[in-house]
Amino acid sequence: MNTATRALLMAVACVALAACQKKVVETPPEPTPPPPPAPAPVVDDGRYTPDDLDSDSCLRQRQVYFDFDRDNLKPEFQAIIDCHAKYLRDRPSSRVTLEGNADERGTREYNLGLGERRGNAVNGALAAAAGSSSQLTVVSYGEERPTCTESNEACWSKNRRVEIIYTAR
């Protein structure tokens, strides 16, 4: 074979080989997703939330006790009244029922009246501490709902109370 033919065959072979090669298509790398947004910082504005009713030590205290045959608040319960009044200010949609109770001594009618006077005393204290009276309802159960059923002073003192019941948080 002559040189020109060889050169021609070589050129054809090179073209054929070049045509048979796989073309490598480079794929761009997948874009990395943006980092998640940082959570908004928790702002503690000092307001109570509904979760505080179960976690705050002051708000968990929902009973105000009274002396025998009395309907005036004892000074040691003022802190409880103040934190419940603050909760009511912070949560205007919340509602409270104040359940007045008495011990078994006295007539049924007298104890219902005494329970109501006790409920009204707590109502007045909450309203005076800037709670809204529209959020409060007073109910008297008199001696009908005792927490203790023995007939002694230790038991009776547990029954002379107003229970603060949240009906809407």
Q: What is the pLDDT of residue 33?
A: 73
Q: What is the pLDDT of residue 109?
A: 97
The distance in angstroms from the start CA to the end CA of the chain is 103
Q: What is the pLDDT of residue 35?
A: 73
Q: What is the pLDDT of residue 80?
A: 96
Query: From first to last of its 169 residues, what are the pLDDT tens digits of the chain?
Result: 677 666 666 666 656 555 555 555 666 677 777 777 766 555 567 899 999 999 999 999 999 999 999 999 999 999 999 999 999 999 999 999 999 999 999 999 999 999 999 999 999 999 998 768 899 999 999 999 999 999 999 999 999 999 999 999 9
Q: Do 65 and 73 form a contact (C-beta atoms < 8 A)?
A: no
Q: What is the pLDDT of residue 44?
A: 64
Q: What is the pLDDT of residue 32?
A: 73
The residue extents of the domains of the chain are: 52-168
If one counts every other C-beta atom within 10 angstroms of the C-beta of residue 99, the result is: 22
If one counts every other C-beta atom within 10 angstroms of the C-beta of residue 19, the result is: 7
Distances (CA, A) of 119 to 10, 13, 21, 27, 153: 111, 107, 94, 77, 21
Q: What is the pLDDT of residue 112?
A: 97
pLDDT, tens only, 37-79: 766 555 567 899 999 999 999 999 999 999 999 999 999 999 9
Q: What is the pLDDT of residue 19?
A: 57
Work out the angle at residue 89's Cα, subtended by the Cα atoms of residues 88 and 91, and round it to the nearest 5 degrees: 65
Fold of 52-168: 60s Ribosomal Protein L30; Chain: A; (3.30.1330)
